[in-house]
């Protein structure tokens, strides 16, 4: 089961409480700690485009909530569906 760790984004930098800043965007290593923001369940990663450093586009999917969280320009949008534009 994944750990639940508070996180937020600042200018293309993912801040994880108690840890260093991840420079840039979505990295595969983040899958060890990312959880669904609604139910705290496990997220499934689908990669559409990836370079040597990060996942550029794709999505994170919560099977329990049946919600996709898009990854665009290497930044995952983890806002719950009712809070997105």
Q: Answer whether 0.95 is exceeded by the pTM.
A: no
Nearest Cα to Cα of residue 26 among 76, 77, 78 = 76
Specify whether the CB–CB gap between 38 and 63 falls below 8 A: no
Domains of the chain, by residue range, sit at 7-83
- Condensed to tens digits (0 to 9), the pLDDT of residues 36-55 reads 999 999 999 999 999 988 99
Ramachandran region, residue 63 (left: φ > 0; alpha: ψ -120 to 50; beta: rest)? alpha
pLDDT of residue 84: 82
- In this structure, how many other beta carbons lie within 10 angstroms of the beta carbon of residue 43? 23
pLDDT tens-place string over residues 56-74: 999 999 999 999 999 999 9
User: Among all chains, which residue has been given the structure tokens 């750990």?
Assistant: 3
């Amino acid at each position: 089961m994944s750990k639940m760790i508070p996180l937020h984004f600042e200018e293309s930098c993912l801040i994880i409480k108690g840890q260093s800043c991840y420079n840039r965007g979505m990295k595969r290593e983040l899958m060890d700690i990312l959880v669904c923001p609604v139910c705290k369940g496990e997220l499934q990663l689908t990669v559409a485009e990836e370079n040597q450093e990060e996942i550029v586009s794709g999505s994170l999917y919560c099977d329990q909530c049946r919600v996709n969280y898009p990854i665009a320009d290497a930044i995952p949008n983890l806002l719950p569906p009712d809070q997105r534009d």
